[in-house]
Amino acid sequence: MERKSSVVLLVCFSFIFGIIAHSFINYKFGFFWLYNLLLLSSALIIIFWQDKKMRLIFLGAFFIIFGFARFDLGILDNKIFSKYYNKEVKINGLIVDEPINKIDKQQLVIAPEEIGGKKFEAQEKILITTNLYPKYNYGERLSFNCKLQTPKKFEDFDYAKWLSIQDVHGVCYWPEIQTSLRVCLPAGREPCDEAISSGLPRSPRSLAMAGILKFKNFLIEKTNYSLHEPYASFLSGLILGARNSMPPDLLENFKRAGITHIIAISGWNISFLSYLFFPAFFYLGMRRGRAFYGMLVLIFLYVLLTGAGASVIRAGVMGAVLLLAQKTSRLNRAGRALLYAVAVMFILNPRTIYDAGFWLSFSATFGLIYFAPFLDNRLCIKSKTARGYISATVTAIIFTLPVSSYIFGGISLWALVANLAVLPFVPPAFVASLSGLLAAAIFPENFADWAFLPAASILNYIIAAANFFGKLPGYLNWRMPIIIVIVYYAGLLFCTIKGLAKRDYENE
């Protein structure tokens, strides 16, 4: 009987392969055929149970087909929305996600309760774009008229697929919002009209989310009061993931310099910071086990602080997997944890495969687990801290380059140099910024201004570096073809496996 761990690995690999393969095949196979294929493969597993090789082959086939089936079940047909596309309709619904506040507008994800006077009970959501003011909050109920449209597919960006990650399958631009009713909270916390609010959700999850986002907005307001632009919006993007209010020219320079990941709450970000922060606990005298659990607590609190969105939770999981690799120093265990985490994410939401942040998270985490230690041992640098920082930076750049180019359509020739110049200052910027936010939340506003000074000096350097490298010639508007992406990662995988095999041979 084959080892259980090997069977679990085969199951996960097969399921993930099925999800990925189906994502490239733009065709809905239908449950009837997939159901019968699953039955057939199950029968073949039973028939060839005594033959180990055949049993494993058909077991893999079963979970590849299961991956196809899960992907199909995750695709909504929009049978209800399609009736209202390009029509003026009245919609009543709830704001079910954190509002996205940009410089000149705000975007709200709405879960419809009624469309055109008819009750709506499906999962599809609507993204509306409206004026920056008045501000709307998570949990408010809106009534508005708009022309419901299907999300567009741009030449270099499939907006519809990206929105589908959140079950958003309709968009409305500049609707006429008639009423706004806040969700009724428990007695004594926020009075509201029980008659109007009847039927609105009061689950612990929704109340907790409302409290988290309220606290996050409170911190953003404190930051805006104590710092002027662009430092305030940059700090909010760096710490709280609220980068949408940053000036467009500064965002462009971050992109051209290849350091946008600094202000994107993703697995790239959390994994890299975990990789750098984890050794710091050793210098404080903590053992490896305690340092691991201490970092897990910090990641959990950070996920809550940024709003606990689905993408941030996935980023936290990736960071936790990397911490496991650092705690155990056993790459096989960490690699399996990464594989299991991806499989669970795909089971919960197969449309995660369309999330650019997921692929950046996965590629960076994989590289930091397997390739960074190998590179660290090859660098001729005496300082362990400097060696770890350089190996982590180079690894993250190498492993995320193809994904970044394929998704965002560009490559910064200054990315490596810019990251080496900037990333050492990101952990101090986090510590100084969090200290400033803590002071702003507790102490009077005049004191908070002084508390933000250390953070402002570090942020000033990072912004100056981004503007310097962003204005240099060397940004290529080139989308790497998918075949080159596959060959690139196949080469990286080959080199990584070869390096690990060589290391194991040398250690014998």
Same domain, 305 and 276: yes
- Whether residue 154 is contained in a domain is answered as yes
Same domain, 22 and 89: no
Same domain, 270 and 337: yes
Please say which residue of 33, 51, 73 terminates a domain.
73
Same domain, 54 and 188: no
Tell me the pTM. Answer: 0.76
- Whether residue 239 is contained in a domain is answered as no
Q: State residue 276's pLDDT score.
A: 64
Same domain, 290 and 399: yes
What residues contact residue 290 under an 8 Å CB cut-off, 6+ apart? 281
Residue 140 near residue 113, CB atoms below 8 Å? no
Question: Can you give the CATH number for the domain in which 168 is found?
Answer: 2.40.50
Please say which residue of 53, 73, 93 terminates a domain.
73
Same domain, 177 and 273: no
Same domain, 147 and 49: no
Residue 18: C-alpha distances to residues 55, 61, 273, 336, 341 (Å) = 18, 9, 32, 18, 16
Q: State residue 461's pLDDT score.
A: 93
Q: State residue 269's pLDDT score.
A: 62
Same domain, 87 and 31: no
Residue 114 near residue 92, CB atoms below 8 Å? yes
Q: Which residue has the tokens 């299961």?
A: 66
Q: State residue 181's pLDDT score.
A: 58
Same domain, 68 and 95: no
Greatest extent of the chain over all pairs of C-alpha atoms, in Å:
77
- Whether residue 339 is contained in a domain is answered as yes
Give the separation between CA 142 and CA 192, rounded to whole angstroms. Answer: 15
- 103: which 2 tokens? 């410089």
- Whether residue 456 is contained in a domain is answered as no
Helix or strand holding residue 294 (H, E):
helix 288-305
Number of domains in the chain: 3
Same domain, 140 and 54: no
Give the separation between CA 220 and CA 240, rounded to whole angstroms. Answer: 8
Give the separation between CA 42 and CA 62, rounded to whole angstroms. Answer: 7
- Whether residue 506 is contained in a domain is answered as no
Please say which residue of 139, 169, 197 terminates a domain.
197
Residue 235 near residue 223, CB atoms below 8 Å? yes
- Whether residue 292 is contained in a domain is answered as yes
Same domain, 276 and 406: yes
Residue 319 near residue 300, CB atoms below 8 Å? no
Per-residue pLDDT for the chain (508 aa), expressed as one digit of tens each? 446 667 888 888 889 988 888 887 766 676 767 777 778 788 877 777 777 788 888 888 888 888 888 888 776 555 567 777 888 888 888 888 888 887 788 889 988 888 888 888 777 888 999 988 888 888 888 888 888 888 877 766 677 777 877 788 888 998 888 776 554 444 444 444 433 333 345 566 677 777 778 888 888 888 888 888 888 888 887 777 666 667 888 888 888 888 887 776 555 567 666 666 666 776 677 777 777 777 788 788 777 777 777 777 777 777 777 777 666 666 567 778 888 888 888 888 888 888 877 888 888 888 888 888 778 777 777 777 778 778 888 888 888 888 888 877 888 888 889 988 888 888 788 888 888 888 887 877 677 778 888 888 999 999 999 999 999 998 888 888 888 988 998 888 887 777 666 655 455 5
**Three-state DSSP state, 146:** strand
- Whether residue 420 is contained in a domain is answered as no
Same domain, 45 and 86: no
Domain enclosing residue 94, as ranges = 81-197
- Whether residue 142 is contained in a domain is answered as yes
